[in-house]
Amino acid sequence: MNIRTALIGAGNMARHHLPLMVIAGADIRVICEPSAENYAATLERLTELGAPAPPNEPILAELLAKFAGELDAVFIITPHNMHHDHAKMCLEAGLDVLLEKPMVMNAAEAISLMETRDRTGKHLVVAFQGGLSPQIRHAADLIASGELGELRAVTGMVWQGWKDITAGTWRQIPEIAGGGFLFDSGAHMLNTVCTLVGEEFETVAAWLDYRGTPVDVDGVVMGRLESGALVTLNGCGDCIPGLYNEVYVNLTGGVIRTGIYGERLLIRREGETEYCEVGDLPRMRGAWEQFTQVRAGEIENPCPPEVGLRMAKLWDAIVESAGKDGQPVHPLARTA
Protein backbone atom coordinates (compact mmCIF):
# COMPACT_ATOMS: atom_id res chain seq x y z
CA MET A 1 0.00 0.00 0.00
CA ASN A 2 1.43 3.36 -1.04
CA ILE A 3 1.14 5.95 1.72
CA ARG A 4 1.64 9.56 0.73
CA THR A 5 4.23 10.61 3.26
CA ALA A 6 6.24 13.55 4.51
CA LEU A 7 9.62 12.89 6.08
CA ILE A 8 10.06 15.36 8.94
CA GLY A 9 13.78 15.41 9.62
CA ALA A 10 16.34 13.97 7.20
CA GLY A 11 19.43 13.23 9.28
CA ASN A 12 21.33 9.99 9.76
CA MET A 13 18.47 8.19 11.50
CA ALA A 14 16.06 9.10 8.72
CA ARG A 15 18.43 7.65 6.15
CA HIS A 16 18.66 4.50 8.28
CA HIS A 17 14.89 4.04 7.95
CA LEU A 18 14.67 4.79 4.22
CA PRO A 19 15.39 1.30 2.76
CA LEU A 20 12.55 -0.37 4.68
CA MET A 21 10.24 2.57 4.03
CA VAL A 22 10.80 2.33 0.28
CA ILE A 23 10.35 -1.46 0.30
CA ALA A 24 7.11 -1.07 2.26
CA GLY A 25 5.70 1.39 -0.26
CA ALA A 26 6.20 4.77 1.37
CA ASP A 27 5.51 7.45 -1.23
CA ILE A 28 7.67 10.26 0.15
CA ARG A 29 6.14 13.40 -1.37
CA VAL A 30 8.04 16.07 0.57
CA ILE A 31 10.83 16.47 3.13
CA CYS A 32 11.13 18.94 5.98
CA GLU A 33 14.82 19.48 6.72
CA PRO A 34 16.52 22.81 7.56
CA SER A 35 20.01 21.47 6.80
CA ALA A 36 20.91 21.61 3.11
CA GLU A 37 23.63 19.03 3.74
CA ASN A 38 21.20 16.52 5.29
CA TYR A 39 18.66 17.10 2.53
CA ALA A 40 21.27 16.46 -0.16
CA ALA A 41 22.46 13.28 1.57
CA THR A 42 18.89 12.01 1.83
CA LEU A 43 18.21 12.70 -1.85
CA GLU A 44 21.35 10.75 -2.71
CA ARG A 45 20.14 7.82 -0.60
CA LEU A 46 16.69 7.90 -2.20
CA THR A 47 18.29 7.87 -5.65
CA GLU A 48 20.32 4.81 -4.67
CA LEU A 49 17.07 3.13 -3.64
CA GLY A 50 15.39 3.99 -6.92
CA ALA A 51 12.89 6.37 -5.33
CA PRO A 52 11.89 9.83 -6.60
CA ALA A 53 13.55 12.98 -5.25
CA PRO A 54 10.96 14.96 -3.24
CA PRO A 55 11.17 18.71 -2.65
CA ASN A 56 12.28 20.22 0.64
CA GLU A 57 10.15 22.60 2.69
CA PRO A 58 12.32 23.37 5.74
CA ILE A 59 9.55 25.00 7.84
CA LEU A 60 6.95 22.51 9.04
CA ALA A 61 4.06 24.99 9.30
CA GLU A 62 4.60 25.99 5.67
CA LEU A 63 4.90 22.35 4.59
CA LEU A 64 1.57 21.52 6.21
CA ALA A 65 -0.10 24.59 4.71
CA LYS A 66 1.05 23.59 1.22
CA PHE A 67 0.98 19.80 1.28
CA ALA A 68 -1.27 18.47 4.09
CA GLY A 69 -4.15 17.86 1.67
CA GLU A 70 -1.89 15.68 -0.48
CA LEU A 71 -0.54 13.57 2.40
CA ASP A 72 -1.71 10.61 4.48
CA ALA A 73 1.00 10.42 7.12
CA VAL A 74 4.34 11.69 8.40
CA PHE A 75 7.41 10.08 9.91
CA ILE A 76 8.93 12.49 12.44
CA ILE A 77 12.67 11.95 12.98
CA THR A 78 13.78 15.22 14.53
CA PRO A 79 15.72 16.10 17.72
CA HIS A 80 13.89 15.21 20.92
CA ASN A 81 12.74 18.70 21.89
CA MET A 82 10.80 19.04 18.62
CA HIS A 83 8.81 15.80 18.91
CA HIS A 84 5.82 17.16 20.81
CA ASP A 85 5.20 20.28 18.75
CA HIS A 86 5.84 18.57 15.41
CA ALA A 87 3.59 15.61 16.23
CA LYS A 88 0.82 17.87 17.54
CA MET A 89 0.92 20.03 14.40
CA CYS A 90 0.76 17.01 12.12
CA LEU A 91 -2.06 15.30 14.02
CA GLU A 92 -4.06 18.53 13.94
CA ALA A 93 -3.43 18.76 10.19
CA GLY A 94 -5.25 15.42 9.82
CA LEU A 95 -2.20 13.21 9.36
CA ASP A 96 -1.27 9.91 10.99
CA VAL A 97 2.08 10.07 12.79
CA LEU A 98 4.97 7.67 13.23
CA LEU A 99 7.22 9.30 15.82
CA GLU A 100 10.85 8.46 16.59
CA LYS A 101 11.92 7.71 20.14
CA PRO A 102 11.84 8.99 22.82
CA MET A 103 8.26 10.07 22.29
CA VAL A 104 8.51 13.36 24.20
CA MET A 105 10.62 15.21 26.76
CA ASN A 106 8.33 14.74 29.78
CA ALA A 107 4.99 13.47 31.03
CA ALA A 108 3.16 16.76 30.40
CA GLU A 109 4.04 16.56 26.71
CA ALA A 110 2.96 12.90 26.60
CA ILE A 111 -0.45 13.76 28.04
CA SER A 112 -0.78 16.61 25.53
CA LEU A 113 -0.12 14.27 22.59
CA MET A 114 -2.57 11.70 23.89
CA GLU A 115 -5.25 14.37 24.13
CA THR A 116 -4.46 15.54 20.60
CA ARG A 117 -4.60 11.98 19.26
CA ASP A 118 -7.98 11.42 20.91
CA ARG A 119 -9.35 14.73 19.69
CA THR A 120 -8.22 14.26 16.08
CA GLY A 121 -8.87 10.52 15.84
CA LYS A 122 -5.55 9.98 14.06
CA HIS A 123 -2.98 7.25 14.63
CA LEU A 124 0.14 7.92 16.72
CA VAL A 125 2.74 5.14 16.81
CA VAL A 126 6.10 5.48 18.57
CA ALA A 127 9.11 3.88 16.82
CA PHE A 128 10.61 2.09 19.82
CA GLN A 129 12.06 -1.27 18.75
CA GLY A 130 11.21 -2.82 22.11
CA GLY A 131 7.59 -1.77 21.88
CA LEU A 132 7.42 -3.01 18.28
CA SER A 133 9.10 -6.34 19.10
CA PRO A 134 6.90 -9.49 19.04
CA GLN A 135 9.28 -10.97 21.63
CA ILE A 136 8.71 -8.13 24.09
CA ARG A 137 4.95 -8.12 23.52
CA HIS A 138 4.85 -11.91 24.08
CA ALA A 139 6.88 -11.56 27.27
CA ALA A 140 4.61 -8.74 28.50
CA ASP A 141 1.55 -10.93 27.88
CA LEU A 142 3.16 -13.78 29.85
CA ILE A 143 3.88 -11.48 32.78
CA ALA A 144 0.40 -9.96 32.76
CA SER A 145 -1.31 -13.37 32.53
CA GLY A 146 0.37 -14.71 35.67
CA GLU A 147 1.46 -17.84 33.80
CA LEU A 148 4.98 -17.45 35.20
CA GLY A 149 3.82 -16.48 38.65
CA GLU A 150 4.24 -13.26 40.58
CA LEU A 151 6.60 -10.53 39.34
CA ARG A 152 9.37 -10.06 41.88
CA ALA A 153 12.28 -8.17 40.29
CA VAL A 154 13.53 -6.62 37.05
CA THR A 155 17.16 -5.85 36.20
CA GLY A 156 18.31 -4.00 33.08
CA MET A 157 21.64 -2.76 31.81
CA VAL A 158 22.90 -0.94 28.73
CA TRP A 159 26.55 0.02 28.17
CA GLN A 160 27.82 1.88 25.11
CA GLY A 161 30.76 4.04 24.08
CA TRP A 162 28.21 6.85 23.71
CA LYS A 163 30.11 9.78 25.19
CA ASP A 164 32.76 9.92 22.46
CA ILE A 165 30.52 9.19 19.45
CA THR A 166 28.04 11.94 20.38
CA ALA A 167 30.59 14.60 21.36
CA GLY A 168 29.88 17.89 19.58
CA THR A 169 26.35 16.88 18.51
CA TRP A 170 22.91 18.02 19.65
CA ARG A 171 22.64 14.81 21.70
CA GLN A 172 24.85 16.48 24.32
CA ILE A 173 22.88 19.73 24.41
CA PRO A 174 20.39 19.33 27.27
CA GLU A 175 17.84 21.83 25.96
CA ILE A 176 17.56 19.86 22.71
CA ALA A 177 18.19 16.28 23.82
CA GLY A 178 16.25 16.40 27.09
CA GLY A 179 18.87 14.20 28.73
CA GLY A 180 22.00 12.27 27.92
CA PHE A 181 22.82 8.60 27.47
CA LEU A 182 19.99 7.32 29.65
CA PHE A 183 17.46 9.31 27.60
CA ASP A 184 19.03 8.39 24.24
CA SER A 185 20.30 4.83 23.80
CA GLY A 186 19.23 4.15 27.38
CA ALA A 187 15.67 5.19 26.53
CA HIS A 188 15.28 1.80 24.83
CA MET A 189 15.91 0.14 28.18
CA LEU A 190 13.47 2.43 30.01
CA ASN A 191 10.74 1.92 27.42
CA THR A 192 11.22 -1.84 27.16
CA VAL A 193 11.06 -2.28 30.93
CA CYS A 194 7.91 -0.13 31.08
CA THR A 195 6.38 -2.23 28.29
CA LEU A 196 7.28 -5.52 29.99
CA VAL A 197 5.96 -4.72 33.46
CA GLY A 198 2.82 -2.90 32.31
CA GLU A 199 2.47 -0.94 35.54
CA GLU A 200 3.54 2.32 37.14
CA PHE A 201 6.53 3.04 39.35
CA GLU A 202 5.50 3.83 42.92
CA THR A 203 8.99 4.89 44.08
CA VAL A 204 12.12 5.91 42.14
CA ALA A 205 15.65 6.73 43.34
CA ALA A 206 18.33 7.67 40.81
CA TRP A 207 21.88 8.94 40.45
CA LEU A 208 23.34 10.46 37.27
CA ASP A 209 27.01 11.15 36.48
CA TYR A 210 27.80 13.70 33.76
CA ARG A 211 31.45 12.67 33.25
CA GLY A 212 32.49 16.21 32.34
CA THR A 213 29.73 16.74 29.75
CA PRO A 214 26.55 18.88 29.85
CA VAL A 215 24.33 15.75 30.04
CA ASP A 216 24.13 12.48 31.96
CA VAL A 217 26.54 9.80 30.75
CA ASP A 218 26.28 7.17 33.51
CA GLY A 219 23.19 6.43 35.56
CA VAL A 220 21.73 4.05 38.12
CA VAL A 221 18.01 3.77 38.86
CA MET A 222 16.26 1.82 41.61
CA GLY A 223 12.51 1.59 41.86
CA ARG A 224 9.49 -0.13 43.31
CA LEU A 225 6.47 -0.86 41.13
CA GLU A 226 2.83 -0.57 42.20
CA SER A 227 2.81 -4.35 42.68
CA GLY A 228 5.79 -4.14 45.02
CA ALA A 229 8.26 -5.68 42.56
CA LEU A 230 11.74 -4.12 42.61
CA VAL A 231 13.59 -2.71 39.60
CA THR A 232 17.28 -1.88 39.11
CA LEU A 233 18.56 -0.23 35.93
CA ASN A 234 22.14 0.62 35.00
CA GLY A 235 23.36 2.74 32.12
CA CYS A 236 26.99 3.48 31.27
CA GLY A 237 27.73 5.67 28.25
CA ASP A 238 31.47 6.02 28.82
CA CYS A 239 33.04 2.65 28.03
CA ILE A 240 34.73 0.73 25.23
CA PRO A 241 33.17 0.88 21.72
CA GLY A 242 30.08 -1.19 21.10
CA LEU A 243 26.73 -1.65 22.78
CA TYR A 244 25.98 -4.27 25.43
CA ASN A 245 22.57 -4.85 26.98
CA GLU A 246 20.45 -7.31 28.95
CA VAL A 247 17.08 -7.32 30.67
CA TYR A 248 16.11 -9.97 33.24
CA VAL A 249 12.62 -10.38 34.67
CA ASN A 250 12.40 -12.59 37.77
CA LEU A 251 9.04 -14.18 38.55
CA THR A 252 8.11 -16.81 41.10
CA GLY A 253 7.64 -19.37 38.31
CA GLY A 254 10.51 -18.51 36.00
CA VAL A 255 12.98 -16.00 34.61
CA ILE A 256 12.67 -14.05 31.37
CA ARG A 257 15.83 -12.88 29.60
CA THR A 258 15.72 -10.42 26.72
CA GLY A 259 17.40 -7.28 25.36
CA ILE A 260 16.48 -3.62 25.28
CA TYR A 261 15.48 -3.88 21.60
CA GLY A 262 13.53 -7.11 22.04
CA GLU A 263 15.91 -8.85 19.67
CA ARG A 264 15.84 -12.08 21.67
CA LEU A 265 13.65 -13.85 24.18
CA LEU A 266 14.70 -16.71 26.44
CA ILE A 267 12.75 -18.23 29.33
CA ARG A 268 13.78 -20.57 32.10
CA ARG A 269 10.74 -22.00 33.85
CA GLU A 270 10.64 -23.49 37.32
CA GLY A 271 12.11 -26.99 37.21
CA GLU A 272 14.19 -26.34 34.09
CA THR A 273 17.98 -26.14 34.20
CA GLU A 274 18.57 -23.99 31.09
CA TYR A 275 17.07 -21.06 29.26
CA CYS A 276 15.05 -21.98 26.18
CA GLU A 277 14.66 -19.56 23.29
CA VAL A 278 11.06 -18.80 22.46
CA GLY A 279 10.29 -19.65 18.85
CA ASP A 280 7.19 -19.56 16.68
CA LEU A 281 6.75 -15.81 17.10
CA PRO A 282 6.08 -13.45 14.21
CA ARG A 283 9.18 -11.97 12.63
CA MET A 284 10.23 -8.52 13.75
CA ARG A 285 8.90 -6.00 11.24
CA GLY A 286 10.30 -2.51 10.78
CA ALA A 287 8.70 0.54 12.35
CA TRP A 288 7.26 1.81 9.08
CA GLU A 289 5.85 -1.59 8.10
CA GLN A 290 4.06 -1.95 11.43
CA PHE A 291 2.81 1.63 11.13
CA THR A 292 1.21 0.73 7.80
CA GLN A 293 -0.42 -2.31 9.42
CA VAL A 294 -1.86 -0.13 12.19
CA ARG A 295 -3.27 2.31 9.63
CA ALA A 296 -4.82 -0.57 7.67
CA GLY A 297 -6.47 -1.98 10.80
CA GLU A 298 -4.47 -5.21 10.54
CA ILE A 299 -2.91 -4.97 14.01
CA GLU A 300 -3.43 -3.04 17.22
CA ASN A 301 -0.99 -0.21 17.84
CA PRO A 302 2.05 -2.07 19.26
CA CYS A 303 3.68 1.04 20.73
CA PRO A 304 1.02 3.61 21.63
CA PRO A 305 1.57 6.89 23.48
CA GLU A 306 0.24 5.29 26.67
CA VAL A 307 3.55 3.42 26.93
CA GLY A 308 5.35 6.64 26.09
CA LEU A 309 3.57 8.32 29.00
CA ARG A 310 4.66 5.58 31.41
CA MET A 311 8.27 6.01 30.31
CA ALA A 312 7.99 9.82 30.49
CA LYS A 313 6.76 9.59 34.09
CA LEU A 314 9.72 7.37 34.91
CA TRP A 315 12.15 9.80 33.28
CA ASP A 316 10.63 12.76 35.14
CA ALA A 317 11.12 10.85 38.40
CA ILE A 318 14.71 9.95 37.49
CA VAL A 319 15.58 13.59 36.81
CA GLU A 320 13.91 14.76 40.01
CA SER A 321 15.56 12.14 42.21
CA ALA A 322 19.00 12.60 40.67
CA GLY A 323 18.69 16.34 41.27
CA LYS A 324 18.22 15.52 44.96
CA ASP A 325 21.22 13.16 45.11
CA GLY A 326 19.12 10.01 44.95
CA GLN A 327 16.34 11.01 47.33
CA PRO A 328 13.36 8.74 46.60
CA VAL A 329 10.43 10.33 44.77
CA HIS A 330 6.89 9.02 44.38
CA PRO A 331 5.43 9.51 40.86
CA LEU A 332 2.02 8.08 41.82
CA ALA A 333 1.58 10.73 44.50
CA ARG A 334 1.31 13.37 41.77
CA THR A 335 -1.66 11.67 40.11
CA ALA A 336 -3.40 10.32 43.22
**What is the per-residue DSSP string for 216-265?**
--EEEEEEEETTS-EEEEEEE-SSSSSEEEEEEEEETTEEEEE-TT---E
Within 8 A by CB and 6+ apart from 334, the residues are: none
Tell me how long the chain is. 336
**Beta strand 201-209 with 73-76: parallel, antiparallel or unpaired?**
unpaired
Least confident of 68-77, 186-195, 201-210, 282-291: 282-291
Q: Which sign does the torsion angle of CA 28, 284, 312, 92 carry?
A: positive
DSSP label of 211: T
pLDDT, mean of residues 220-247: 97
Give SS3 for 277. Answer: strand
Return d(Cα 88, Cα 120) in angstroms, integer: 10
Phi, psi of 231 (to 5 degrees): -130, 135
Return d(Cα 90, Cα 322) in angstroms, integer: 34
Return d(Cα 170, Cα 301) in angstroms, integer: 30
The H helix count followed by the E strand count for the chain is 13, 13
pLDDT, mean of residues 56-84: 98
- Global confidence as pTM: 0.95
The answer to whether 95 and 74 have CB atoms below 8 angstroms apart is: yes
C-alpha dihedral, 142 to 148 to 150 to 153, nearest 10°: -80
Return d(Cα 238, Cα 139) in angstroms, integer: 30
In 3D, which of 274, 293, 275 has the Cα closest to residue 283?
293
Within 8 A by CB and 6+ apart from 287, the residues are: 17, 20, 98, 125, 127, 129, 132
Tens digit of pLDDT for each residue in 7-42?
999 999 999 999 999 998 899 999 999 999 999 999
Residue 335 has pLDDT above 60, yes or no: no
What is the residue type of 316? D
Return d(Cα 314, Cα 127) in angstroms, integer: 18
Mean pLDDT of the chain: 96
